[in-house]
Amino acid sequence: MLLTKALYYNKINLANNHQFLSSCKQAIMNGKDERRQYHLDDGLIL
């Protein structure tokens, strides 16, 4: 019982992690677009 619970929570954790990484990636992409839009080259273009 405890093992399946741990696996279940691990699965939730992985899903959240994936969602978090996706939103980070999205934020980076948005940042790139904004920099391009305003021609701000701060040397941090990823």
CA–CA separation, 32 vs 24, rounded Å? Answer: 12
The pLDDT of 15-27, averaged and rounded, is: 84
On whether the CB atoms of residues 32 and 25 are closer than 8 A, the answer is no
User: What local confidence, expressed as pLDDT, does residue 46 receive?
Assistant: 46
Eight-class DSSP state of 42: -
In sign, the C-alpha dihedral spanning 7, 8, 11, 12 is negative
What does pTM read for this prediction?
A: 0.45
User: What local confidence, expressed as pLDDT, does residue 28 receive?
Assistant: 81
pLDDT tens digits for range 23-33: 888 888 887 76
C-alpha triplet 37, 42, 46: angle, nearest 5°: 80
Q: Please provide residue 35's backbone torsions phi and psi, each rounded to the nearest 5 degrees.
A: -65, -40
